[in-house]
A = this chain, B = another copy of it.
Amino acid sequence: MLPLTFDSISFLRDQERIFFVGGEIHYFRVPPDQWAQRLRLLKEAGGNCVCTYVPWLLHEPEEGKFVLDDPALDINRFLKLCAELELWAVVRPGPYQYSELLNAGLPSWLLKNYPQVNACGIDGSPLVWPNGMFISVSYQHPDFLRLTQRWYEQILPILAAHQIDRGAAVVAAQIDNELMGVHAWLGSWDYHPEVMGIGREEGRWPQFVQQRYGDLAGVNEAYELQAGSMAEVLPLAEPQATSLAQLRRVMDYRAFYFEQVAQYARTLVRWMRENEITVPLVHNCASPYMTGYFRETVERCRGELLLGSDHYYNLDLDWDQNQPSPKYASKCLMSMELLRGYGFPPAVFEMPSGSLSDWPPITPSDAACAYGLNLAVGMKGVNYYVFAGGENPAGTGTTCDLYDYGAPVSPTGEIRPLYEAVAGFNRLLDQQRWLAGAEAVSDCRIGYSLDQSRHPRKLPVDQKLLMPPDEAWSFMRKGLMLTSLCAHWSPEMIDLSSDDILNNIARPLLVAGSTVMAAGEQRRLVQYLQAGGQLILAPVVPTLDEHYRPCRILADYLGGVEQQRCRRDAPLVRVGEIGGLLINGGLFEFAHLPAGAQVIARTQLEPAVVGLKINPPGGGCAVVLGFHWRQSRREHERVVHQLLLQAGGQPVIECDNPNLWALARTDGQQTMLFILNLFSSPMNASIRFRDSVHQNQWQTLPPIKLGAMEVQAWSPIVGCIWRSSAASGDSGVSA
């Protein structure tokens, strides 16, 4: 077999652009005599790789006593089988596994003998999961690191022997699992006093702070403290931030925590390399909203680590929507675009093929729809979690004895209807391999600021910010992105901290502005405008930099624009000729008109100015709207559509059904149009699209009919080539 590599566009086998198609099969949950049958089923379903955890919990059941040759846990034999069947393998040796295993896959003796490794809340007390599903450790605790290193030294050479360059199956290895989840989901970061060095002059946290602000005087100034020594500079609990100085301290601890995670990741990467692992290393971000938390990890492990993401839509009753809804799709779009922004081929390392809950169910047609929509938003790699169910080794399950998971293949090896949904989607990937090299056809851009995604939600200090960063992030997703999709624009997402925004001046740029924006990002927006760019910014022009210090680079360039909260007369706004625009959030009026500015939006009754068009020096144009919204009304679509047209945008798709989304991808030779019905009702539409492959001529598709929760893939030449409902059999699901 050839090794697996990747670049920023896709995965590669030798020089060939391919989709990575993994299936999660746990050797420790499947009887050894059935391993081959499960692997064959994966291959027959179109998979090219098997992925598995290698649980520390099972392989070191007593401290220092490693079990590596038990037939039920014989990873050597399992990986040999993979090679024999010509399946790649990705191994995930932890230390964390999660996987609904006891202690999240950590050995019980670790917690019993080394309670000091437990992560701590801000008051220094251990972080404990009430339902026992997880264990939170302090990643960099010396005991945890030492024991992890010993585990790695035992297991990695075994795994290394099965690497592709030695003629075997392993093409990648994963470090840890869903980093930060065990802390974040408890609503706390790790504040382990020893590990983080809190209250210790030479501790990690004081040193981090000192490096940032030079000396104690600088720290005291930044935090408005009168600390007598660095040891007295303590972190602050997030809800306690009521001033900008306190917010600065809260955000510094966040950045510090992310940096610690990055150092832990870097350590695991180093140990992987020291223990003969030469294949690419990977990691899975637990959830799209956490992707921004990985900025430090991505930077520290640049060139060594591929970050992917997990894309669940329904793990239990209280999950949002329980279906591959538009909300889910917008999360997936954001996730794929953020990974692309980091420079990775977007991959979904845990794609739901089943769920830890039997109910609400993952149905084949929902699943096929989810797979299709992920492809539509740029997915280049997928790993079905789990592909085959099994039985938990005695006493190691946290959700059940049988890890059935409603998987495509049952614990006893039978094929279920979901298998066909997986296989049917994989056939599409196989038949349309060129899509691995394709990129989105876009007609507008949404600039994003990762800082916004890292900001805590709803802090008391928010009152001091016209527009808090987290609200701007929410507006970016639920306003700018959803509205442009509903208006049938195709946004490309661009990291404002990169120079990418300067590479395509012709296309209009939408930005959700917060009161806080990094000086570098403000400067880049100025450069974009100076170069003739077309900017649509809402709801505020930033006035603070990333350190919450005054910074009006953009505001000054826009003629000294100033905004203030608008005491509204009635909650509607008029933009140009479009009246009655519902605003779901804050409303900000302009204190005065910069010279030459043109008023384009006013409040309903009294004429407060809430929208300006400004032509700053350089030929660019900025539209600044003093309001934000969640996508809910045709008026929102009309405003965005009109502003994008006025900014010179040229839509590539026209569709007469505002409830459908359509997105195209092309490799320059071929184009594929994805049509998404993410509602539980059938939908019809007429669709035209402008194909760059055909001299940008408008192509009209035949009348479109989609079933409930259906994604279709259309080739402008061949016609409809894939329907998620057909791929899933569409026949109804029995017990």
A→B interface (CB under 8 Å): 102, 130-133, 316-318, 321-323, 325-327, 356-361, 363-366, 369, 395, 397-402, 478, 482, 486, 568, 570-572, 579-586, 604-605, 630-635, 656-659, 679-685, 705-709, 728, 730-735
Contacts and interface: CB of A to CB of B under 8 A. Distances in A.
Contacts of A369: 680
Contacts of A361: 659, 679
A584 B327 CA distance: 26
A570 B395 contact: yes
A131 B733 contact: no
Nearest to A677: B732
Nearest to A604: B395
A568 B102 CA distance: 12
Contacts of A401: 572, 579-580
27 contacts: A131-B571, A133-B571, A316-B630, A317-B478, A325-B360, A326-B360, A356-B632, A358-B632, A359-B486, A359-B631, A359-B632, A361-B659, A361-B679, A364-B681, A366-B680, A366-B681, A369-B680, A395-B570, A395-B605, A399-B580, A400-B582, A400-B635, A657-B735, A658-B735, A681-B708, A682-B730, A684-B731
Contacts of A582: 398-400
A325 B325 CA distance: 13
Nearest to A315: B632
Contact of A317 (B358, B630, B735): B630
Nearest to A365: B681
A577 to B, nearest CB: 12
Contacts of A583: 131
A635 B327 CA distance: 30
Contacts of A630: 316-318
Nearest to A482: B317
Nearest to A708: B708
A63 to B, nearest CB: 19
B359 A131 contact: no
Contact of A359 (B102, B395, B659): B659
A734 B680 CA distance: 14
Contacts of A399: 571-572, 580, 582, 633
Total copies of this chain within the assembly? 2
A586 B632 CA distance: 39
A705 B732 contact: yes
Question: Which 3 pairs of residues, A with B, have the shortest CB-CB distance?
Answer: A684-B732, A363-B681, A708-B708
- The interface residues of chain A, by DSSP majority, are classed as loop
A709 B685 contact: no
Given A321-B321, A357-B633, A604-B395, A657 B734 contact: yes
A732 B709 contact: no
Contacts of A604: 395
Given A658-B735, A707-B708, A735-B657, A398 B634 contact: no
A556 B15 CA distance: 76
A731 B131 contact: no
Nearest to A656: B735
B322 A317 contact: no
A358 B604 CA distance: 20
Contacts of A733: 657, 659, 681-684
A634 B358 contact: yes
Contacts of A707: 708
A680 B369 CA distance: 10
A568 B632 CA distance: 46
A734 B685 contact: yes
Contacts of A478: 317
A357 B605 CA distance: 22
Of A322, A402, A586, A707, most buried by chain B (CB within 10 Å of CB) is A322
A149 B317 CA distance: 47
Nearest to A733: B683
Contact of A682 (B131, B580, B732): B732
A715 to B, nearest CB: 22
Contacts of A400: 572, 580-582, 633, 635
Given A681-B365, A682-B730, A130 B580 contact: no
Given A325-B322, A580-B400, A632-B358, A366 B132 contact: no
A466 B364 CA distance: 41
A139 B536 CA distance: 44
Contacts of A631: 317, 359
A322 B733 CA distance: 23
Contacts of A605: 395
A150 to B, nearest CB: 25
Nearest to A585: B131
Given A359-B633, A658-B735, 14 more contacts: A132-B570, A358-B634, A358-B658, A359-B659, A360-B679, A361-B659, A366-B681, A398-B582, A399-B633, A400-B581, A400-B635, A656-B735, A680-B708, A708-B708
B680 A580 contact: no
A572 to B, nearest CB: 7
A572 B398 contact: yes
A202 to B, nearest CB: 37
Contacts of A657: 733-735
A132 B708 contact: no
Contacts of A705: 732
A314 B263 CA distance: 45
A135 to B, nearest CB: 12
Of A132, A366, A730, most buried by chain B (CB within 10 Å of CB) is A132
A25 B102 CA distance: 58
A251 B327 CA distance: 37
Contacts of A359: 486, 631-634, 658-659
Contact of A323 (B133, B572, B585, B680): B680
B684 A402 contact: no
A563 to B, nearest CB: 17
A682 B365 contact: yes
Contacts of A732: 681-684, 705-706
